[in-house]
Every structure is written in C-alpha cells, then in structure tokens.
Amino acid sequence: MDIAGLPSDILVEVTASIATRSATPLSDIVNLRRSCRVFRDATAARKVGRCMAVNREWRLHWWDKSRFLSVLRRCAASGNPEASYILGLEEFCNRRRKATGLWHLCRAMEHGHAAAAYMIGMITMHDSLCSPAVAEQALERLDWLSPCASAGPWTRRRMASVRVEAVSVMRRLTMRRWRMAESPTPCVDPWCGKLVRQTAEAWDGDGDEERWFCSRTCRWRHEYCKFIAKI
C-alpha cells in the first residue's frame, strides 16, 4: 500500500502513537521525519508534540542540554503538560526565573498535571513561611490535589506517588536543594500530626501513613516538611 495515499490524520495518529509509546521517542520521530515527505509533514503536527514522551529523554539532558530544552519548548508550545512541567522546574530551580517557571507549571497544571500542581503548592507554601499573606493561595493550590476535606487512603497514596514524582524530577534536573527559610510554627493542639495508622505498604520509602490534623494548614505544612526532607 502506498503510504502517500493514506489520509493525513491517519499518518498523524500513527506518528503520535510512536511519540507516546516509544522508548526513544525523539530518535524515532527524527528518523521518521527523514524517511519521506508525508511523515515529515506528520511529525510537524501539534498532536505529535503534545504526545511526545519527553520524560523518556533524560539522557539528552546530560548529553546535550540545549537540545533537550529546545525539544521541551517545542513540545510545551504544542500543549505537552510534561514538557511544561520540566521546563517550569528548569526555569525556577536552575535559571532562578520564578515568574517564568510558575507560568510553565501553571500551564502543566491546567492540563491536569498533578505533580505540577504539587510543585506550585510547595513553592507557594515555601513563600508563605516568609509571608503569611500568600498562605491561603498555597492552600488553594494544594487543595487541587485533594478535593476531599479529609484524606482517605486513595488520597494518601496519590499524594505519596505525586511527591515521589516531584522529587525524582527535581533530583534529575538540578543539584540545587531547597532549605526551609523558616520552620513552620508548631500547632498548639498536642494531637495535631499524631500518627493514627501506618501500614507496611511503602509508597515513598516510609510507608502509607495516616495522621490526624486539626486543619488543612497543618496538614499541608506537614506535607511541605516531608517534601523538603526528601530533596
């Protein structure tokens, strides 16, 4: 069958599938682009950039960082949430461009990227320790991860997995480590933060914890401390 006779949308779907499922998506897309004119046009489609599994190209970050960032920017412009997420952390952590970094993270969050929302919350929570005026904004960002007022088992597990993802990308991307500008003020309630239950099922190296908190502020401050300890 002549490939040139296939509808363009079919070619784009095939190319997007390769970009999503391949273990080496960038190399495969480049080779496909060089193979013929019809695939060259297909690889230029926004859907391909949106589906590109950029999280499988970390080796390129060490070999050719400028090219890695170029790929991220093209994919982020196509609406790739993972690309926006990594690019946001690069801008914030390595280039010290907080506004640009948060802009990219917000774009990723708008596409449903949970780790991006988590990092926005952690960044804002970090700021709130220095400026109480932004504390409510931090809580709103973090509440996006947990619609329920009380954290059930599913929420705890999801939070642990999102924390692991955020820590993993931070460690791969930068040697910079956060330090608390100021330790959170201990809660006056002696029962706040007490361990209720802990199972042997490990999600982030310290098991599946269930703690009781008197407020969402205390709950998220505890999460912030756990994140800082991991990175």
Residues 47, 30: Cα–Cα separation, whole Å = 15
Residue 115 lies in a domain: yes
pTM assigned to the model: 0.82
* 195 φ/ψ sector (left φ>0, alpha ψ -120 to 50, else beta): beta
* 207 φ/ψ sector (left φ>0, alpha ψ -120 to 50, else beta): left
Residue 190 lies in a domain: no
Residue 94 lies in a domain: yes
> Based on the number of CB atoms within 10 Å of its own CB, is 51 exposed (0-12), middle (13-18) or buried (19 or more)?
buried
Residues 102, 87: Cα–Cα separation, whole Å = 10
Domain hosting residue 123, numbered range: 81-181+206-230
Q: Worst-scoring range by mean pLDDT, 85-89, 103-107, 194-198?
A: 194-198
**pLDDT at residue 205 greater than cutoff 60:** no
Residues 83, 50: Cα–Cα separation, whole Å = 9
Please write the tens of the pLDDT for every residue from 10-50: 889 989 999 999 999 999 999 988 888 888 888 889 999 99
Name the average pLDDT for the chain: 82
- Kindly give, in sequence order, each residue whose CB lies less than 8 Å from that of residue 79, ignoring residues fewer than 6 positions away: 46, 49, 50, 111
Residue 32 lies in a domain: no
Residue 93 lies in a domain: yes
Residue 160 lies in a domain: yes
What percentage of the chain carries pLDDT values higher than 90?
32
Q: Which residue has the tokens 């774009």?
A: 107
Alpha helices, DSSP H only, in the chain? 8-21, 25-35, 37-43, 46-51, 58-63, 65-77, 81-89, 98-110, 114-130, 135-143, 153-173, 216-230
Range among 125-134, 152-161, 214-223 with highest mean pLDDT value: 214-223
Mean per-residue pLDDT for 53-77? 93
pLDDT band for 153, please (50, 70, 90 cuts): very low
Q: Yes or no: say if 127 and 99 are a contact pair by the CB < 8 Å rule.
A: no
Residue 177 lies in a domain: yes
Nearest to 118 by CA among 149, 91, 150, 85: 85
**pLDDT at residue 181 greater than cutoff 90:** no
What pLDDT is recorded for position 88? 95
Residue 161 lies in a domain: yes
Number of folded domains in the chain? 1
